[in-house]
Amino acid sequence: MFGSLDSSFQHAWQAEILTARPLILPARQFVYPTQVEEVERGALEVLVRPQAVETAPFLATCALGFADPLALTGLWACPDPRWMCAVAGGYAYLIDTVTPQQWEQLEYRPVTEIRALPQHGLLIFSGFHGLLSWGPAGRKWKTKRLSWDGIRITEIVGNRLTGFGWDLTSDQETEFEVDLMTGESRGGGYSPVTSG
């Protein structure tokens, strides 16, 4: 499994995605999530070297979400330079590289797209139904449901993000708009189906 590194944000760590588990393991090893069976099968193995003084390197083993080669995989720098986002087959793990016991797995499973917006201090995560943002202090906002199945971001201008979500009731894409500062949205392709 291969992935890329998006270093749009300044970061206080170096990381390498390994093609195989190292024969000699570092003294510090962390598995994400901690309660998972057979995590090594297809897991994303990342050797992380924090730049903090007296902080030893560690191996981060991130459980694979989906084995589909089109599923998002890679590393992203976060708005907080200590934090790293590792994505393994659409499952996103945000990890404090100085204190790797502090981490969070995003609720979107899978994450379908990540946009780094340094000018806003945000990472934007797309799922099938909505958007979620992560700022320097952690999670900042989550939109209401914008789509029945699939989000397509088309433009980011100023503090406004626009895109399309699919509406089951009309069987077409509908435009939405999100305020990047608050997560407030209007439009979108989600209208509840009512019987009657």
Higher pLDDT, 98 or 1: 98
Question: What percent of the chain stands above pLDDT 70?
Answer: 94
Q: Are 94 and 82 in contact (CB under 8 A)?
A: no
- Tell me the whole-structure pTM to 2 decimals: 0.92
User: Residue 1: pLDDT band by 50, 70, 90 thresholds?
Assistant: very low
Span 26-50, average pLDDT: 86
Span 78-104, average pLDDT: 97
Span 14-21, average pLDDT: 92
